[in-house]
Amino acid sequence: MKIKLNTVLLFAVLLIFTNCENDNHNPNLPHDSSFYIDYRSLNGLPDGIAVIELDPEAPNFGHISSRLELGVGVLPHHLYYNQNANKLFTTALGGSYLYEVKTGEDKNGQPKLLGATPIDTGENTVGENLFFTNDGRYFMTFMGGAGGPRDGSIGVFNASNNQLIKTIKAPIQANPNKFIMYPHGISINEEKGLMMVTSTIHPDLTTGMGNTCTLLDLNTYELKETYQVADSPTDMSAPVEVLLLRGKFPQYALATTMLGGDIWIAPYNASTKKYDAFTKVFDGSTQGLGWTLEMYIDDTNKLYVSFADPGKVLVFDLSYLPQLKLLKTFNADKGAHHMAFFKTKSGKEVVAVQNNLLNIPNLNSGTINVIDINTGKTLGTVDLRARYGILPESIEGTNGPSNYMHH
């Protein structure tokens, strides 16, 4: 049984959506509970980035201390640090599609947003996810590609100067068995020299959507295989994020399907040096869950997955792969999406959940919940819609990545 979606809502889904291992997060810095958020304005004002305090124990909980306006309709989308966590970037659905963000500190040592430099993305439009590699490159998915009806591309950039090195394109028209179309999610296993991207939905909301993930060689950019991540060829599940587990983790690929509402898994095959076929490992519809979005791993090797409908975060134990053992379910608000992990002043381990999916009706609470990961209790909620007239689009730490592994 698949999730029933109103047709209008189905196509109201543009570009969801959200890299790196975090060995740079420093809990001793004074702004460990301050976070950067991308936001969209609800009042016709410029969209931008803000600094917000998220410790419910702080007297200024929910206070925005710094803002940087990027422009009306820019729709900043995902915040990322580079490999060394000394540069901050945001992708965008409009505007220049990619910006390097300059930050500093105020007189109290708190983070301050100073400016943003647009980066030339060439013909590539509608910026989505980034992934920085150790060899001085970074990769970016563009759901719009050059603007065609079944388009999409991956940009390869020089991390030292932000110059576009190459645009990877592989139209489905040229090869229906190996292609890149509407790419959103991206993950890389550098040790194996592999990159995978998802196929989600066309930016105009009506032209088409995907149901695949495509594997590429990280160095030659050759397409190795396109996998179905859906119940059938006609099931437009819209895979949104992919995670190639790496390092100490068992070597599997995980993918979330936005419209399928599920989690899929594929094992790495050392003989073929590819992944085997994807199979469904978690069916959201059996638990009344839909709109599966982000995957994060915390520093205890637990996998956190957000479900925008009705607003939940499920915590899985990775020790049992290829099975996912469900440990906990946290209640969030509708539109549960990106996450950030930190400790409160008193030492409580919490996850901040950003609740908004592109201002889609019933998935756009516009809040951030701060949840105790041991008790599951919501310790505090910031209502950005009511308080500031903005909706949060993504969240990231102000002193380094706020997770161990994202994509």
Give the torsion sign (CA, 311, 315, 321, 325): negative
End-to-end alpha carbon distance in the chain: 29
pLDDT digits 0-9 by tens, 378-399 = 999 999 999 999 999 999 999 9
Mean pLDDT of 224-240: 97
Cβ atoms of 382 and 355 closer than 8 Å: no
Closest C-alpha among 207, 217, 212, 225 to residue 276: 225
Give the other-Cβ count within 10 Å of 319's Cβ.
10
Q: Which residues of 247-277 are buried (b: 16+ CB within 10 A; e: fewer)?
A: eeeebbbbbbbbbbbbbbbbbbeeeeebbee
CA distance 296 to 366: 21
pLDDT confidence band for 24 (50 / 70 / 90): very low
Site of tokens 């209640």: 331
- Give the pLDDT of residue 11: 39
CA distance 191 to 275: 14
pLDDT digits 0-9 by tens, 58-109 = 999 999 999 999 999 999 999 999 999 999 999 999 999 999 999 999 888 8
pLDDT digits 0-9 by tens, 323-369 = 999 999 999 999 999 999 999 999 999 999 999 999 999 999 999 99
CA distance 326 to 318: 9
- Give the pLDDT of residue 149: 93
- Give the pLDDT of residue 109: 87
Q: Which residues of 152-186 are buried (b: 16+ CB within 10 A; e: fewer)?
A: bbbbbbebeebebeebbbbbbeeeeebbbbbbbbb
pLDDT digits 0-9 by tens, 138-169 = 999 999 999 999 999 999 999 999 999 999 99
Q: Is residue 22 over pLDDT 70?
A: no
